[in-house]
């Protein structure tokens, strides 16, 4: 998401930074390029025009033109205006009393899944959500919501399949909710392929009866400029209170996110990134502005990781590592932690500077099957071999390769990486560096780290200093054994630079 826009902005700002003195012509030329980049990213025309006017007004100020680093100041102005365009501050849901939330949007935007994601998030936050199926038209919509509710263990009201009166369904659902121990009611409504009179009339009737505190528009981020028209129509029909963007992890150009807030004046409250029911995150305008400008979102990444990793298990693993007792059983536990993180490419895109090297990384580097293959190798070892890897010699290695369906080269590489990890653990200084930042065990030193990628957390290294990309991918493929790989790669990279 936003990759093309980020690349265009990076090129423009790089040119500005290289100019010793900023002139009106420099700024005008740069803003023309930025305006084109915004339009190509599907930002609505009037929104792009107004945005550029605001940036130009500030960028042409005397303080900027006479400053020592005018290029940097213009980047800051653009960042602040971008954050303002997206909404300035994160806006929480209104959940006073027994809150009612009406989910609306077109077919295919992900209303039902997002209803489940929202219920799951609210449940983790200590609320008691209830799901209510009000989509009486789409085949299997009720069954889908029931399935989602079962996956997250949340009570769900499902009407009879023959019922066609959505207001009666809502009335019966409210009576059912009175018998449940819930404090948030989430109504999943019907959608259409496009806005029509029938949809609007039904939604108005339901909205008038339910009287929700929150009416959330579920909008597919890949819809482009069409999403702006959809947002405007729904807002005029029922008065939306907020927006949830879905499929933000896709390859859409992202203009909808930059336009809908400006057009409707309603905040983007959450963003869905991924298919899993725990992949719904608060939308922070300033952090999104950082990501669009290639500055990353380490805080957001840490928060995402924290929701997936059990703190007690992490601390136990850290203690094992610190004591030098780390074996392949611990290694398996760490691979399971990594597997819980989901889309590694999406997570890594939140690293500062990742966009600059992403094209060098083949998609196979982020293939979850690589973790599975590594896990298969470890599971093919005997209990004694997992506890004492040093006994795994020639014949044992061949047996493990055959048993796991891998090659002898794969087994040798994994054992070497594991050996490098153990050596690193015996060095207090290297261990301290590897476990810096937020201190996630075995993951490159911090909630921001990844296998084979060195530092992390607050001390995240510049991606350009990672050295040999080939070795980086091998470390990632090791599924946790990259700690040692980072050691070797770092020294090799420095030697090359010294030459």
Residue 110 marked as a ligand binder: yes
* Contact status, residue 77 vs residue 27, Cβ threshold 8 Å: no
Strand partners, 215: 102
Residue 271 marked as a ligand binder: no
CA distances to 74, 148, 264 from 423, rounded to whole Å, are 47, 45, 57
DSSP-assigned letters across all residues of 123-146: HHTT--EEEEEE--SSTTHHHHHH
CA distance 254 to 239: 24
Tokens describing residue 259: 């336009």
* Contact status, residue 374 vs residue 414, Cβ threshold 8 Å: yes
Residue 274 marked as a ligand binder: no
Residue 394 marked as a ligand binder: no
Residue 158 marked as a ligand binder: no
Residue 246 marked as a ligand binder: yes
* Contact status, residue 386 vs residue 326, Cβ threshold 8 Å: no
DSSP single-letter state for residue 446: S
Residue 109 marked as a ligand binder: yes
Phi then psi for residue 174, to 5 deg, are -65, -40
Residue 189 marked as a ligand binder: yes
Q: Which residues 6+ apart lie within 8 Å of 377 measured at CB? A: 400, 401, 404, 406, 410, 411, 414
Residue 247 marked as a ligand binder: yes
CA distance 256 to 272: 14
DSSP three-state, residue 162: coil
Residue 217 marked as a ligand binder: no
Tokens describing residue 40: 């190509």
Residue 112 marked as a ligand binder: yes
Binding residues: 105-112, 188-192, 246-249
Binding residues for GTP: 105-112, 188-192, 246-249
């Amino acid at each position: 998401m936003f990759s093309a826009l980020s690349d265009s902005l990076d090129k423009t700002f790089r040119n500005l930074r290289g100019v010793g003195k900023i002139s009106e012509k420099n700024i005008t030329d740069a803003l023309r390029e930025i305006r084109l980049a915004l339009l190509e990213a599907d930002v609505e025309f009037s929104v792009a025009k107004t945005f550029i006017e605001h940036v130009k007004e500030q960028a042409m100020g005397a303080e900027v033109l006479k400053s020592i680093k005018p290029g940097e100041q213009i980047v800051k102005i653009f960042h602040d205006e971008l954050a303002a365009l997206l909404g300035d501050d994160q806006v929480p849901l209104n959940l006073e009393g027994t809150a009612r939330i009406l989910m609306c949007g077109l077919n295919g935007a992900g209303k039902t899944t997002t209803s489940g994601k929202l219920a799951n998030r609210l449940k983790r936050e200590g609320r008691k959500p209830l799901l209510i199926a009000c989509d009486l038209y789409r085949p299997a919509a009720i069954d889908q919501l029931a399935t989602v509710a079962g996956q997250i263990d949340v009570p769900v009201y499902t009407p009879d399949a023959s019922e066609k009166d959505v207001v009666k369904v809502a009335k019966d659902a409210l009576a059912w909710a009175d018998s449940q121990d819930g404090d948030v009611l989430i109504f999943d409504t019907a959608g259409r392929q496009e806005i029509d009179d029938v949809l609007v009339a039904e939604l108005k009737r339901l909205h008038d009866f339910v009287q929700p505190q929150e009416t959330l528009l579920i909008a597919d981020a890949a819809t482009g400029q069409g999403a702006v028209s959809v947002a405007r129509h729904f807002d005029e029909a029922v008065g939306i209170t907020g927006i949830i963007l879905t499929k933000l992890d896709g390859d859409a150009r992202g203009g909808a996110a930059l336009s809908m807030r400006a057009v409707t004046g309603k905040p983007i409250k959450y963003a869905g990134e991924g298919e899993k029911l725990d992949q719904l995150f608060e939308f922070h305008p300033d952090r999104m502005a950082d990501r669009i400008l290639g500055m990353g979102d380490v805080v957001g990444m840490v928060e995402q990781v924290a929701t997936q990793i059990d703190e007690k298990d992490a601390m136990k693993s850290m203690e094992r590592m610190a004591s030098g007792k780390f074996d392949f059983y611990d290694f398996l536990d760490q691979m399971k932690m990594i597997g819980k993180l989901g889309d590694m490419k999406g997570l890594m895109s939140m690293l500062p500077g990742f966009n600059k090297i992403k094209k060098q990384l083949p998609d196979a580097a982020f293939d979850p099957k690589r973790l599975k293959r590594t896990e298969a190798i470890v599971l093919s070892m005997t209990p004694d071999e997992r506890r004492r890897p040093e006994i795994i010699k020639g014949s044992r290695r061949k047996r493990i390769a055959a048993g796991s369906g891998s090659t002898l080269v794969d087994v040798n590489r994994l054992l070497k990486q594991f050996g490098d990890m153990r050596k690193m653990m015996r060095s207090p200084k290297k261990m301290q560096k590897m476990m810096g930042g937020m201190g996630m065990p075995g993951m490159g030193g911090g909630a921001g780290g990844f296998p084979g990628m060195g530092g992390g957390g607050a001390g995240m290294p510049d991606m350009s200093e990672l050295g040999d990309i080939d070795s980086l991918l091998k470390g990632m493929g090791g599924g946790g054994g990259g700690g040692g790989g980072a050691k070797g790669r770092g020294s090799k990279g420095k030697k090359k630079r010294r030459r």
